Amino acid sequence: MACNTSPIEILLVEDNPGDVRLTVEAMKEGRVINNLSVVSDGVEALAFLRREPPYQDASRPDLILLDLNLPKLDGREVLRQIKNDKSLLRIPVVVLTTSPAEEDILRSYDLHANCYILKPVDLEQFLEVVKSISDFWFSVVRLPPDVRGVSDAWCANEVITH
């Protein structure tokens, strides 16, 4: 299969440096061309998505990986604001969190999360989960045209952190 040269834009909203490092590593091991932007709190996430300073040149993400337990503005509120904003609501949001609480799962789906995934504590399982997310969202799923509607193979990656 030919590689699609258009990179996938992924926004990782994560305050744990260890989880950021593991996600970056999993993306490097995958065959996906991606630009991974990282922000560490909910306020930064919304500024990035709305292209507010210092993110006025930020690319629109094709996928958001969102932790729930964030400083400044928690992931639940970030998710609510994304899904209530007509310009952002079609961007798939994958909740990637350590919380197994039924209340968090139900609330995330009530707020229109596209899926809810528990972060494994085991390193190898964590890497496999992140690779599976990437494979699923960019090889299996057909996204709306205003996000990304392609199903080609993807072949390399780049990581951008903010």
Report the distance separating Cα 36 and Cα 160, nearest Å.
Answer: 5
**pLDDT of 57-80, one tens digit each?**
999 999 999 999 999 999 999 999
Give the contacts of 100 (CB within 8 A, at least 6 positions apart).
Answer: 118
In this predicted structure, the answer to whether residue 41 has a pLDDT above a threshold of 80 is yes
In this predicted structure, the answer to whether residue 38 has a pLDDT above a threshold of 90 is yes
Maximum distance among all Cα pairs of the chain, rounded to whole angstroms: 44
Residue 13: both structure tokens together: 């909203």
> Quick one: pLDDT at residue 33?
65
pLDDT, mean of residues 71-99: 95
> 12-47: buried (b, 16+ CB within 10 Å) or exposed (e) per residue?
bbbbeeebbebbbebbeebebbbbbbbbbbbbbbbb
In this structure, the number of other CB atoms found within 10 A of the CB of residue 141 comes to 15
Judged by phi (left if over 0) then psi (alpha if -120 to 50, else beta), residue 112 lies in: left
Confidence of residue 161 (pLDDT cuts 50, 70, 90): very low
Report the distance separating Cα 98 and Cα 126, nearest Å.
Answer: 11
Confidence of residue 156 (pLDDT cuts 50, 70, 90): very low
> 142-160: buried (b, 16+ CB within 10 Å) or exposed (e) per residue?
ebeeebbeeeeebeebebe
Which domains are present in the chain?
Answer: 8-161 (3.40.50.2300)
